[in-house]
């Protein structure tokens, strides 16, 4: 576990997501959960040593399985955006580890089997603020990676957890994305009000303004490419060619190349098959 401040921590040892936790006098405000329920229980046990009050709450930054599969094992109230809550209302109550390969990290977890979802019990539309006796913790809607994507901002400490808005040296998930909204969100991060902030990505930990700009450039490139094929579904050959081209943007280890290529291939194949502003989030992403 890595300390960002004396009461804000991140954890990068679990597969799939960088986790966060804010220690307050009332209790722990947790940000995302590991996809493996077993890892979630390990994480929950580790949190017992942090102190703070007795209450617990879990914030899901969107509905992606990599960050929500382990939510039930955290055994606390879950908060998310209303569009994330809507996604859970349209999903079966139990997740089954089968179906299309999407390039997600949960797909490499052996013996995952069936997992019961933990739908959000509290949701909001634009903004929600938690006052737990410590610093103000603001939850803000910033669509992009998913229509229900949110950030967790601590203005006093100038720290913001930005979910999948920026991914460190790995391709983004495109199937459920809204690229125009995503680009707008990244412009917000690069604007003056966020100067001096520490940005925490859900896939890679702390990221710099330069890395945010690189993410912007990549997504703008993808957006421009896909705009040319908006009126028709790209054929497999075109998808494969674009996948190979986009993969060169990332210096991924060789053992990840196949997974990341499939992530891009799946995302490109599905992005133009739906309206980018659709309210639902692809549950298989």
**Position 40 in a domain:** yes
**Position 278 in a domain:** no
Q: What pLDDT, on the 0 to 100 scale, is given for residue 98?
A: 66
Q: What pLDDT, on the 0 to 100 scale, is given for residue 278?
A: 37
CATH code: domain of residue 66? 3.60.15.10
**Position 60 in a domain:** yes
Q: pLDDT tens, 163-208?
A: 999 999 899 999 889 999 999 999 999 999 999 999 999 999 999 9
Q: What pLDDT, on the 0 to 100 scale, is given for residue 274?
A: 56
**The total number of structural domains that make up the chain:** 1
**Position 165 in a domain:** yes
Cα separation of the two ends of the chain? 28
pLDDT along the chain (285 residues), means of 10: 93 93 94 90 90 91 93 93 92 74 86 83 95 91 94 96 94 92 95 94 94 95 79 71 89 87 89 50 36
**Position 282 in a domain:** no
Q: Please tell me the pTM assigned to this model.
A: 0.89
Q: What pLDDT, on the 0 to 100 scale, is given for residue 237?
A: 80
Contacts of 183 (CB under 8 A, 6+ apart): 144, 216, 219, 220, 223
Token output for 39 = 């890892």
What beta strand segments (E) does 35-171 contain? 55-59, 77-81, 94-96, 114-116, 122-124, 127-130, 137-141, 150-154, 159-167
**Position 219 in a domain:** yes
Distance (Å, whole) CA 220 – CA 173: 14
Determine the structural domain holding residue 30 and report its residue range.
Answer: 2-271
**Position 172 in a domain:** yes
């Amino acid at each position: 576990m890595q300390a960002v401040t004396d009461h804000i921590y991140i954890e990068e040892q679990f597969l799939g997501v960088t986790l966060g936790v804010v220690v307050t006098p009332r209790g722990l405000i947790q940000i995302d959960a590991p996809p493996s329920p077993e890892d979630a229980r390990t994480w929950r046990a580790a949190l017992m040593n942090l102190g703070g009050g007795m209450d617990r709450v879990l914030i899901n930054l969107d509905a992606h399985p990599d960050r929500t599969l382990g939510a039930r094992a955290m055994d606390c109230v879950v908060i998310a955006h209303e569009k994330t809550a809507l996604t859970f209302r349209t999903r079966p109550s139990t997740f089954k580890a089968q179906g299309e390969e999407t390039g997600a990290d949960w797909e490499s977890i052996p013996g995952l089997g069936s997992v019961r979802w933990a739908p959000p019990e509290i949701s909001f539309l634009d903004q929600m603020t938690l006052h737990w006796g410590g610093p103000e913790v603001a939850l803000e809607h910033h669509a992009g990676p998913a229509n229900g994507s949110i950030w967790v901002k601590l203005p006093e400490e100038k720290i913001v957890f930005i979910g999948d808005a920026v991914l460190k040296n790995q391709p983004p998930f495109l199937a459920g994305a809204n690229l125009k909204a995503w680009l707008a969100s990244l412009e917000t991060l690069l604007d003056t009000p966020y100067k001096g902030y520490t940005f925490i990505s859900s896939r890679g930990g702390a990221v710099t303004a330069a890395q945010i700009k690189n993410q912007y450039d990549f997504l703008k490139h993808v957006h421009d490419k896909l705009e040319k094929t908006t009126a028709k579904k790209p054929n497999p050959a075109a998808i494969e060619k674009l996948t190979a081209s986009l993969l060169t943007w990332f210096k991924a280890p060789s053992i990840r190349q196949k997974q990341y290529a499939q992530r891009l291939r799946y995302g490109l194949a599905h992005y133009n098959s739906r309206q980018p502003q659709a309210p639902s989030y692809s549950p298989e992403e």
